[in-house]
Amino acid sequence: MKRLCSLIFLCILGDSSLAAQPNVLHILADDMGWNALSCYGNKDVATPNLDRLAAQGMRFTAAYADAQCSPTRAAFLSGQYGARTGVFKVLNEKEPSRAPMLSPAANDALAPKVATLATTLRKAGYATGISGKWHIANNASVAPLRKRDGGGYFDAYGFDFAGPANGAEHHEDKTVTSITDDIIHFVEMNKDRPWFAFVSHFSPHTPLEAPEALIAKHVARGYQRAATNEGRATERPIANYLAMLEHLDNQVGRLLAKLDELGLRERTAVVFTSDNGGLSRVTKNAPLREGKGSPYEGGIRVPLIVRWPGKVKEGSTSDVPVHAVDFYPTYAALAGATPPAQHVLDGENLLPLLEQSGALQRTALHWHMPTYTTNYGRTPCAVIREGDWKLIHWFGDYLETTGFTPDDKPYGKLVIGPRTELYNMREDLSEAHDLAAERPKKAAHLIKALNAWLERTGARLPTQNPGFDEKRWWTSAEEEKKASGD
């Protein structure tokens, strides 16, 4: 009888322990800039569902990602900066072969032994699911649907469920509806246990795809329809892009309604953010400088909203700088999970900020961008933000980009040689006033701190290119071959 009572007690204790673990719904938009939502000041389109989410939780005003997709997604799943993982550029992105610097080789995938967020949560008793964009490895041969089978592709990364939308063709709405359907199905299957759902959208990335009725609605409001689905137009924002934002907001509303319907709202932490800044050719990122691909704020500052009833104060805001690497340690902490002992976490647990119970301990955030981006006019650089100060160091060349959009050609005047820029983010959000010459001690301090971080993480650095061709430097070898007719 005693043994039976003990077993019953342990079962009850186990059930209560699982019940105490909050669900995690992580929604990641693709190419959504910092000011894309109306709760962040966008007056071109209404996003009522995400605005309501912000009103019910905390809105971060200085949240960061990397400047492009793959590095951010790798940082999220590993809790590590790209300088450490080697995933510091978009997978398979071509490099100019005649540039002044030779970019270091990047890893072509983030291995399961590094991307351990879902595995860590699974070991803590969570059901784990994903639907949508992957882009941390070449998944061309991955079947559309993989469930946990002991040897499946996504199982190795810790996911029990991978929705059919993953790897599916983009239909008229960028599979936003299909991804939402997948996650609703996953949540319904696991409503009686703790779960972690990664909602990884392709929207509002180009090609611009949204329901025609929504595009027509914004054209009727006076916004220009894109000439092509790549989004080039003379005025920004483009009607197609606004339609994508509205449609994404509507589908987020479906997810939130499902949580209410299943009685899961009170024990679910909902997080909404983006993988990089807005694309300059489809939207305006002002007052932030430049856009996707850039180390300036328009490329790396993103929206971040967190709702967690009973833990996060409604209508609260935070201006503390945070980064995509912080989600892993935060989710592990709220789940009571323990990451692998040998796994270094570059991020910091955000629970003190979310619960308004304390401050973060770190002093700085970092970015490593040692490659060229032929689509966005960026040359190799690294960045540090410490307090209000932000320093950008260009390793061996830079583009004089004042007064033009990097998505336009030509890319600007190429200047050979390293350069260091210094900005005060509290006083100069637009990064219009380089203070490196006026504050040499501050610049020297930050350069020293940045170099120490690069060394500590084992960062791969660019080197001088003996084959530099000033006349054709921005042309890749593949483009050169195509142009010559070979």
Residues 383 and 249 in one domain: no
Question: Is residue 173 situated within a structural domain?
Answer: yes
Residues 188 and 214 in one domain: yes
Reduce the DSSP state of residue 4 to 3 states and report it.
Answer: helix
Residues 188 and 119 in one domain: yes
Residues 134 and 177 in one domain: yes
Kind and range of the H or E run holding 162? strand 161-162
Question: Is residue 177 situated within a structural domain?
Answer: yes
The two counts, helices (H) then strands (E), for the chain are: 14, 18
State the greatest distance between any 2 C-alpha atoms of the chain, in Å, as a whole number: 87
Residues 71 and 42 in one domain: yes
Local confidence pLDDT in tens for the 486 residues of the chain:
444 444 443 343 344 444 589 999 999 999 999 999 999 999 999 999 999 999 999 999 999 999 999 999 999 999 999 999 999 999 878 888 788 999 999 998 999 999 999 999 999 999 999 999 998 986 544 444 444 444 588 899 999 998 876 545 556 899 999 999 999 999 999 999 999 999 999 999 999 999 999 999 999 999 999 888 787 767 789 999 999 999 999 999 999 999 999 999 999 999 999 999 999 888 999 999 999 999 999 999 999 999 999 999 999 999 999 999 999 999 999 999 999 999 999 999 999 999 999 999 999 999 999 999 877 878 999 999 999 999 999 999 988 866 555 555 555 678 899 999 999 999 999 999 999 999 999 999 999 999 999 999 999 999 999 888 777 666 555 554 553 333
pTM as predicted: 0.91
Report the alpha-carbon distance of residue 81 to residue 389 in Å, rounded: 20
Measured CA to CA in angstroms, residue 476 lies from 380, 398, 465, 482 at distances of 16, 18, 14, 10
Q: Which of 344, 362, 380 is the last residue of a domain?
A: 362
195 backbone dihedrals φ, ψ, rounded to 5°: -140, 155
Measured CA to CA in angstroms, residue 25 lies from 74, 122, 194, 198, 205 at distances of 18, 15, 11, 6, 21
Residues 59 and 123 in one domain: yes
Instruction: Please return the burial class of 393, using the count of CB atoms within 10 Å of its CB with bins 0-12, 13-18 and 19+.
Output: buried
Residues 348 and 374 in one domain: no
- Range of 408's domain? 367-484
CATH number of 399's domain: 3.30.1120.10
Residues 290 and 424 in one domain: no
Q: Which among 164, 112, 124 is positioned nearest to 334, based on CA atoms?
A: 124
Q: Which of 331, 362, 393 is the last residue of a domain?
A: 362
Report the alpha-carbon distance of residue 336 to residue 380 in Å, rounded: 39
Residues 348 and 219 in one domain: yes
**Length of the chain in residues, anyone?**
486
Report the alpha-carbon distance of residue 190 to residue 183 in Å, rounded: 11
Residues 287 and 348 in one domain: yes
Reduce the DSSP state of residue 323 to 3 states and report it.
Answer: strand
